[in-house]
Structure 1
Amino acid sequence: MTTPPDALWLQWLLGVLQSGQAALLQALHAVGLVPALYGQPAWPWASRLAGDTLLFDLGQARRLALTLGLLVLALVVAALGLLWRRRRVWLVVVAGLLPLLAPWPQWEAIRVAATPASFHVSPTGFEAGAIVRGHQLYRQLCVDCHGADGRGHGPLAAQQAVWPPNLAGPLLWRRADGDLFWHVLHGMRDARSGQPSMPGFADRLSADDAWALIDAMKALAAGQMLRQTGQWLQPVRLPAFAVRCAGAPGRQSGAALLGQRLRVIAPGAGQVPTPDPRVVTVALAPASGNTDLPHVDAADCEAPQADAWRALALVAGNADDPGALAGTQFIVDREGWLRARAAPDAADWQEDDLVCRAPSDASPSPSAPASATRLTALDGLGSLIARMDAEPVRYVKGGLVH
């Protein structure tokens, strides 16, 4: 999601929670106190600290931030006491009192159940090939319960102990990726009855398969979200794919384009986009192998593998008919987030094409470039660029900053 600028302190707080626990886990693994699981250190406790509740309870968030500040101050004062012998007693007393004065938050507000894989990180990078492979696995293993669209209405849904959740809703964005990974492999149980609510697939999937399946579920959920609401209510990254750039032979990966605004085009009949210096234009190779589609002369780079087209078709809600993506254009911001989409028959960019935007009550960032205001008076693409610069994506998933 894009968030208003006054939430930056909360983003910082959530980042401290995440980085502190991750650093602790790495330290424990380095000294041999925790084992590796699926190639990454395993979280050894049944719970962890997360910021899900803090996003909605700013009172608890402020108490936690103040408590952390006082604890840091106590450590500084204690360190001074060790160095300053003449005032050592007083400084040690002050250092001991500061934690007692801290407004400790309710731990229930920041403690959540954990799995051994809670801090595992996906190695795929949301790569197009992984998304396509994961979608094939989804059709084999998940459709009967979750349905082809992920909304939980598969032919076997009614036979389950608990009705399958709607994967096209915010669920995948509320769970940490590592927890999703663990549940795919080891299943889930209903918290009330204790009955299995989802089978595990550890006997049928490798770790790489499980991560690919999660990527596919995210892409499918994003596409369904866009079809149902007309927006990406949760931010979605551009799938990673190989590129071939005539003007820069060294660029072989989309990651090399990070830091630049991109215009990604799925070529369509009658489409003649013009070059634009404000964006790097990337043309997709058609998933169907149709060579009759027009060559995009305005393209700075090409994505030669058809997986890029198929992955974006999922993200755009064209899972059943990837060919329907033809003629669609996307705008990607400098951080790699998909921000705008233009329909195949669109004559020019419109403000409504911005389908990943800040909440309606959020004001533009005061730190946005002054040129952004001037751009709004120009063409449609200029207006979109101004909005994107003024409303950067600050993404929190599963209570963790990403």
Structure 2
Amino acid sequence: MNSPPPQAWLNALLVLIEKFQLALLSLWHALGLTGDSHGQPAWPWARRVAGETLLIDLGLARQVGLSLCALVFAVLAITAALAWRRHRGVLLAAGALALVAAPWPSAALLLVPAAPTSFHASPTRFSVDAIALGARVYAQHCASCHGADGRGEGPLAASLAQWPPTLVSPLLARRVDGELFWHVLAGMRDRHGQPTMPAFGNVLGLREAWAVIDYMKALSAGGGAEGNWPVPLRLPEMAIRCADAAPLALSQWRGDQRVRLVAVDGMASLPFEDPRFLTVLVTPDGQPPAQVPRFRAGCAAVSSHAWQAVAAIAGQSPSRLAGTQLLADRGGWLRARGTPGRQWSDADLVCVSGPDAGAQRAPSPATDGLTALLLRMDAEPVRFVKGGFIH
């Protein structure tokens, strides 16, 4: 689904490039050399390093890695030369040779156009409330072109000079959230400068723009309901209440434990607790059950928007959501979707990760499908690269 890099060195390289660019942005902002854009430090340059290109072009990634090694060697050689006068000539020559011999990559391949918001972080935390707000914004401003299901076949799509792209694809994974945010507000143009998507900066507030991106992520997952999700999803943020305790944010409550979301619409459907994960009930009205039978799960999402958000992620209409389950791994990534009346199995794993994601696997020695599923989730942690950035 997310085509993670099979080489550990490539993961490390992408992390290094991301941290370097973020550190450079922080330094420029601290020095007053760049201002703010939509509430966060603005990327001051027209281009950025294309981490997404390195992800698919291993030859270019090797060039970058070797060139960085040569640069580090040259810096160390110069530093040693300054401190060790006796061998200064040899050290300086070695450093210069490393720089000359390095396979410096082409700037045209390494750099891609950037936006002032390229490195902006979404403040919504992918919450159920933001997804619900994004659904309303999408229905009002986006569905006419992109379609209610996000497949780019809205009622106005055929009248456009360029057919809208489908959102139910890896498209969202190839762009960083900050650049999606920029395109929502500033619009998009083709290579001839002709508009292909209108700007909504005068229509939407910042919260609405970030929220519609959250909804597009949920819509992308829901649209891929028959197979693997094209974009990995975080466990959505929501307030959780257990019995009479005060509500807590799910991110505070869960720790590093697995989480199971279960859509229930009555007392008879309350699932049993399971020590292998934390169970969160999602109800239509956002209220936990008044009385919980012994050994049944009783902690519930208290937001009335949780039902709608989970329905969008699961690819179900809200009226048919009851009984659907979503499993998140210890890292907080949604990994599996269960359907009512069916036992868990490997077929329920909708977010496949790891270098062997597409390979055939031998049957698990686990005694039941749920155990096998949990073991596979633990063995294959998500290493999601969005727009070339490790998440």
1:192-243: CA deviation from partner (whole Å, max 9, x where unpaired)? x3211111011111111110111111111111022xx322132111111011
Partner of 1:393: 382
Partner of 2:323: 327
Shift of 1:124: 0.8
Partner of 1:15: 15
- SS of the equivalent of 2:168 reads coil
* Contact persistence 1:271–1:294 (CA under 8 A): no
1:101-126: CA deviation from partner (whole Å, max 9, x where unpaired)? 11122333321111111111111111
- Assess, with a 3 A threshold, how the Cα gap between structure 1 residues 339 and 169 changes in structure 2: closer, same or farther: same
Partner of 2:220: 221
Partner of 1:285: 283
* Contact persistence 2:286–2:307 (CA under 8 A): no
Paired letter, 1:235: P
Paired letter, 1:351: D
Shift of 1:81: 1.7
Partner of 1:77: 77
* Contact persistence 2:238–2:249 (CA under 8 A): yes
Query: Greater CA deviation, 75-84 or 22-31?
Result: 75-84
Paired letter, 1:195: Q
Partner of 1:237: 234
- Assess, with a 3 A threshold, how the Cα gap between structure 1 residues 4 and 43 changes in structure 2: closer, same or farther: closer
- SS of the equivalent of 2:150 reads coil
Whole-angstrom CA distance in 2 between matches of 1:263 and 1:288 = 16
- Assess, with a 3 A threshold, how the Cα gap between structure 1 residues 353 and 328 changes in structure 2: closer, same or farther: same
Q: Does 1:206 align with 2:205?
A: yes
Whole-angstrom CA distance in 1 between matches of 2:15 and 2:53 = 14
Partner of 1:351: 346
Shift of 1:287: 4.7
Alignment equivalent of 1:336, drawn from 326, 329, 332: 332
* Contact persistence 1:241–1:303 (CA under 8 A): yes
- SS of the equivalent of 1:243 reads strand
- Assess, with a 3 A threshold, how the Cα gap between structure 1 residues 292 and 178 changes in structure 2: closer, same or farther: same
Whole-angstrom CA distance in 1 between matches of 2:4 and 2:174 = 19
How many aligned residue pairs are there?
A: 387
User: What's the RMSD between the two structures over aligned residues?
Assistant: 2.6
* Contact persistence 1:220–1:314 (CA under 8 A): yes
1:132-171 alignment runs, 5 A limit: 132-171=132-171
Partner of 1:87: 87
- Assess, with a 3 A threshold, how the Cα gap between structure 1 residues 234 and 83 changes in structure 2: closer, same or farther: same
Structure 2 regions of 5+ residues with no counterpart?
A: none
Partner of 2:371: 382
Partner of 2:263: 266
- Assess, with a 3 A threshold, how the Cα gap between structure 1 residues 377 and 209 changes in structure 2: closer, same or farther: same
Structure 1 regions of 5+ residues with no counterpart?
A: 365-372
* Contact persistence 2:183–2:199 (CA under 8 A): yes
Whole-angstrom CA distance in 2 between matches of 1:328 and 1:208 = 29
TM-score normalised by length of structure 1: 0.89
Whole-angstrom CA distance in 1 between matches of 2:369 and 2:75 = 53
Whole-angstrom CA distance in 2 between matches of 1:264 and 1:87 = 65
Whole-angstrom CA distance in 2 between matches of 1:287 and 1:159 = 40
Whole-angstrom CA distance in 1 between matches of 2:164 and 2:31 = 41
Shift of 1:274: 2.1
1:256-312: CA deviation from partner (whole Å, max 9, x where unpaired)? 214111111111465352221111111112258898999895326211112122111
TM-score normalised by length of structure 2: 0.92
- Assess, with a 3 A threshold, how the Cα gap between structure 1 residues 52 and 281 changes in structure 2: closer, same or farther: same
- Assess, with a 3 A threshold, how the Cα gap between structure 1 residues 188 and 6 changes in structure 2: closer, same or farther: closer
Q: How many percent of aligned residue pairs carry the same amino acid?
A: 49
**Divergent runs of 4+, >3 A:** 1-6, 287-297, 358-364, 373-376
Query: Greater CA deviation, 58-67 or 31-40?
Result: 58-67
Query: Greater CA deviation, 304-313 or 133-142?
Result: 304-313
- SS of the equivalent of 2:269 reads coil
Partner of 1:275: 273
- Assess, with a 3 A threshold, how the Cα gap between structure 1 residues 316 and 119 changes in structure 2: closer, same or farther: same
Whole-angstrom CA distance in 2 between matches of 1:296 and 1:214 = 41
1:346-392: CA deviation from partner (whole Å, max 9, x where unpaired)? 2x21121111113544589xxxxxxxx99842222110111111111
